[in-house]
Amino acid sequence: MPDTPFAPVILGNEPGSFPHSVLAERHPAIIRQVRDAFPYGPGQHEALDELLHSCTEGTVEPLPAGAPDGDRWLAWGLAGHAGRSWYDVPWLWSESYFYRRLLEAVGWFGPGSWQGIDPFRPFKRAELDASETDEELAALDALQKLPEEERARALLHGSLWGNRADLGFRLSAEGAGDREPAPALVADDSETLWSLLPPAGNGTLVLVADNAGRELVPDLLLIAHLLAEGRAARAVLHVKPYPYYVSDATTADVVDALHRLRTAPGAAGAYGRALWAAMADGRLTVRTHPFWCAPLPYSAMPDDLRAEFAAATLTVVKGDLNYRRLVGDRLWPPTTAFRRTTAYFPGPVAALRTLKSDVITGLSAATESALVAAEGQRWRTGGTHALIQVDPSGEQQGQ
């Protein structure tokens, strides 16, 4: 990510800034929570101690010799960042590497009996099993009486605001989950989004998921609706290859969410059974890719993903981190055109995101001034505002 004077890459080295607080406070809190949630042995405790020291006071260290993804991380910039403070390398890079090292500390990569044990699973399960999830699912019954367009809109907004359900975010934004969301969107291209997914279309929707639990459930409901109403003939759900940013969805989380839906009463159960059937006949596919845990912007995506997005009718990317990677993790002037930052993307792309970091593009000058007048800069990170932005054009000539 080369720096440009126009929009500097975000680092975590400014005390008092949001990125700094994530490195200095959120990451240690995540280590504490994971340590408390499992009966780890002395080796794991020692590795967690070392990680805590390294990420707060030490420097980025290389991966152990023989790490299965060692070459990949070298290609993703590890050699250039090793030996530097975690605060001085791009924030996106530091955060991604933190989760990679945390998984290693608890034995995720094996070999051994802790291989594949998700350190965030208790938090994700608790959210999926919460009574709030029952209430959200019960609300689907009333939706069935509405005309299709209204149901579609409600489910789109359910998926959008489901992005507030982010466990990592709640660790350092005390009370964020309870704060009332501001209802108006700071940018709303939903008409363009619907024009790309007309009823009786024959397209492929790709949804790049973000969080499990109470975000993934409404994402699945939206997919179920689009398939049932013929707005998409096929859907591909992309999830993370390993646990990441606490609540990010993996295939195991998709299975949990589908079980939860299928066994629910009423309309939710019907959606669940329809999704189960769509998995069986191939209309809904779950995929993953190592690049989803790469510390890089999507402009650096590999050719196989590029080809998949080029062939899709629409790719929807969910959440704050995907937004940062889509537009580049930079301090853009907020009125920078969204399409200017996504011109490299190989097909039509939509972002559904609640605002939880400093990155923002595509605001009108009036919207930006109103937000600043009301909240200073808090609107950028508080998780109470949201946007739907669409670039329908696909890769533009000369990019």
Ligand X SMILES: O=P(O)(O)OC[C@H]1O[C@](O)(CO)[C@@H](O)[C@@H]1O
Q: Contact positions toward ligand X, by CB under 6 A?
A: 22, 95, 163, 166, 168-169, 210-211, 245, 319-321, 324, 356-357
CA distances from 144 to 154, 267, 333 (A): 11, 8, 42
Q: Indicate the residue among 326 and 371 with the shorter CB distance to ligand X.
A: 326
Backbone angles phi, psi at 230, to 5 degrees: 75, 15
* Least distance in angstroms from the C-beta of 53 to ligand X: 20
Comparison of 89 and 268: residue with beta carbon closer to ligand X? 89
Question: What whole-number distance in Å separates Cα of residue 215 and Cα of residue 329?
Answer: 22
Among residues 391, 373, 376, the alpha carbon closest in space to that of 323 is found at 391
* Least distance to ligand X, CB of residue 74, Å: 24
Whole-angstrom distance, CA of residue 315 vs CA of residue 237: 10
* Amino acid identity, position 46: E
The Cα–Cα gap between 316 and 235 comes to 11
Alpha-carbon distance values, 299 to 17, 295, 323, 387, 395 (Å):
26, 12, 12, 21, 11
Tell me how far, at minimum, the Cβ of 358 lies from ligand X, in Å.
9
Nearest distance from C-beta of residue 146 to ligand X, angstroms: 28
Question: Closest approach of Cβ 320 to ligand X, in Å?
Answer: 3
CB 166, min distance to ligand X, A: 4
Which of 215, 238, 237 is closest to 157 using CA atoms?
215
Is the Cβ of residue 278 or residue 352 nearer to ligand X in the bound state?
352
Nearer to ligand X, 1 or 22 (CB): 22
What's the per-residue H, E or C state across 325-338? HHHCCECCCCCCCH
Strand 314-318 relative to strand 284-288, pairing: unpaired
Torsion of CA 49, 67, 325, 30, to 10 degrees: -20
Amino acid at 304: D
In the complex, what is the shortest distance from the CB of residue 291 to ligand X, in angstroms, rounded to a whole number?
16
Instruction: For ligand X, give the closer residue by CB, 225 or 356.
Output: 356
Q: How far does Cα 366 stand from its chain's mean position?
A: 28
Residue 363 CB, nearest approach to ligand X (Å): 17
Q: How far is 382 from 32, CA to CA, in rounded Å?
A: 23
Q: Strand pairing of 204-208 and 386-391? A: unpaired
List, in sequence order, every beta strand (DSSP E) within 170-257.
187-188, 204-208, 234-239
Question: Minimum CB separation from ligand X for residue 210, in Å?
Answer: 5
Q: Residue 163 or residue 204: which is nearer to ligand X going by CB?
A: 163
Apex 358 CA angle, 246 and 207, nearest 5: 55
DSSP string, 86-114: TTTSBHHHHHHHHHHHHHHHTTTT-SSTT
Minimum distance from residue 149 beta carbon to ligand X (Å) = 27
